[in-house]
Amino acid sequence: MKFIPLIWAGLWRKRTRTIFTLLSIVVAFILFGVLQGVATWLNGFGAGSHTNRLYVVSRISEIQPLPSGYLSHITRVAGVRQVAQVAALVGSYQQPTNTVVVLATDPRALFALYPEWRVAPQQLQALTRTRTGVIVGARVARLYGWRVGDVIPIRTSVLKNDGTTNWSFQVVGIYDSPDQPSEEDRMIANYEYIDEARHFERGTVFAFVVGIDDPSSATRICAAIDARFANSADETLTQDEKEYIQGQIRQLGDVGSLLNAIVGAVFFTLLFLTGNTLTQSVRERIPELAVLKAIGFADGSVTLLVLTEAALLCSAAALIGLLAAAALFPATAALGIAGTTLPAKVYAIGLLIAVGLALMSGLPPAWRAHRLQVVEALAGR
């Protein structure tokens, strides 16, 4: 403890150099924090998923439609509590870049399956009464200024029976999802309205969401549903929520390894830089370190002094960098990726890396300090 002023003085011996080194490590940790945050978020995506929900899609590919008639068969599979069919209408509002997704479904069943999406009961009731109604997510409602009662035109590529591709919906309610605000971007509409009005693919759905009572029997139920439609033209693939979501993330392919490669390049560059600074600083202080040894410091203490200096520099910079990354991280949500808070795991990994960095860049100069011969060093040889 009493050596703290000594370490402190050593660090600030050349102020500009320490500040520049500190800042470059800070920058590296900002980059690490954000990139690792995205990677962790991608890997852990679906971790908070609900184990009592299953998803049935076509085995051919997830956008191949399934017959809506499967609903009654799935409902009869043992262990299934509730099923909602989902068809999707992808379109845009006002500008081609304002993409919106309308889910054509049985709203009662869907909101029962997603209890985390909160909607007022009378609004849900209004949707079942209003054929062209829609309950919109709080985020899109805010984004486009939609209020209950508004009629909103949506441009799509889905042809209606009247020959146009423009759809309109009446907002009858707004739902929110406090735990997952990113899920507040959907529009939930009546399947009957959309299916009867569309010209193509009538009587088909995109997926079935299945609610089960006992999550431990999920594997059995998945197999039972798929077995029910085996060897038919439209074979199904049933997965639990986590598998289903991770399957979609996996399609991003090499993106994860790309992020890791970038982080690797950043840290390699950094190790070089920090190591060099520390070596330089020890080299310049050889006479001073020799004096310390001359007045009775043990070899180990001098080594420890140098190492502590490195550790202090690296961990302080890492902490600043990670905090800055945490502040910047929510910005990635605007790009449609990642969440709102930096995962705790990233801090832990970051601090571990900081210690590793300090050891790797600090050991060679510390070793040099350790082996320093007082007489030789003081003589300037």
Partner 1 sequence: MGFYQQTGAISLMSARSLPRRLGASCVIVVGIAGVVGVLVSILAMATGLIQIANRSAHPDRAVVMSTGTDYETLSNLSRDAVRIIADARGVRRDANNRPLASAEVLVLVHLPLRAGGSGNLTLRGVSANAFALRPELHVVAGRMFNPMLRELIVGRTAQRQFRDLQVGRRLLVRGAEWTVVGVFEGHGDQHESEMMTGVEVLQSTFQRNAFQSVTVQLDSEASFADFRASLAGNPALAIEALRESDYYLRQSRAFTRLLTLVAYLVGGIMAIGAIFGALNTMDAAVSARSVEIATSRVLGFEPGAIVTSVFAEAVGLAALGAGLGGALAWLLFSGHAINTSGGGFTQLSVPVVVDARLVGVGILWACVIGMVGASLPALRAIRAPLASALKAT
Residues engaged in binding partner 1 (CB under 8 A): 16-17, 20-21, 23-25, 27-28, 30-31, 35, 59-64, 90-92, 96, 155-159, 163-165, 199-201, 231-235, 250-255, 258, 261-262, 265-266, 268-270, 272-273, 276-277, 279-280, 335
End-to-end CA distance of the chain: 33
Would you say the C-alpha torsion 71, 74, 78, 82 has a positive or negative sign?
negative
Indicate the residue type of 325: A
> In the bound complex, what is the minimum distance in angstroms from residue 8's beta carbon to partner 1?
20
- Decide whether 63 or 223 has the Cβ nearer to partner 1: 63
CA quadruple 249, 344, 20, 281: dihedral, nearest 10: -120
Q: Rounded to the nearest whole angstrom, what is the least distance from the CB of residue 323 to partner 1 in the complex? A: 15
- Identity of the residue, 156 or 301, whose beta carbon is nearer to partner 1 in the bound complex: 156
For the CB of residue 149, give the shortest distance to partner 1 in the complex, in Å. 25
Cβ distance to partner 1 smaller for residue 96 or 296 = 96
Beta strands in the chain (DSSP E): 53-58, 66-67, 80-92, 99-105, 133-137, 151-156, 166-175, 186-190, 204-205, 207-212, 236-240
Closest approach of partner 1 to the CB of residue 130, in Å: 24
What is the CB neighbour count within 10 angstroms for residue 135? 27
**Residue 21 DSSP label:** H
**How near is the Cβ of 287 to partner 1 at its closest, in Å?**
12
How long is the chain?
381
CB environment 36-75: b (16+ within 10 A), e (fewer): bbbbbbbeebbeeebebbbbbbbbeeeeebbbbebbeebe
155/228 with CB nearer partner 1: 155
Minimum Å gap between C-beta 285 and partner 1 is 14
Q: Which lies closer to partner 1 via its Cβ, residue 157 or residue 216?
A: 157
Structure tokens at 69: 């008639």
- Closest to partner 1 by CB, 266 vs 291, is 266
Q: Compute the distance between CA of residue 120 and CA of residue 340 in angstroms, rounded to an integer.
A: 26
Instruction: Considering the complex, state which of residue 75 and residue 276 has its C-beta at the smaller distance from partner 1.
Output: 276
Q: Which residue has the tokens 């990113």?
A: 182
Q: How far is the CB of 262 from partner 1 (least distance, A)?
A: 5
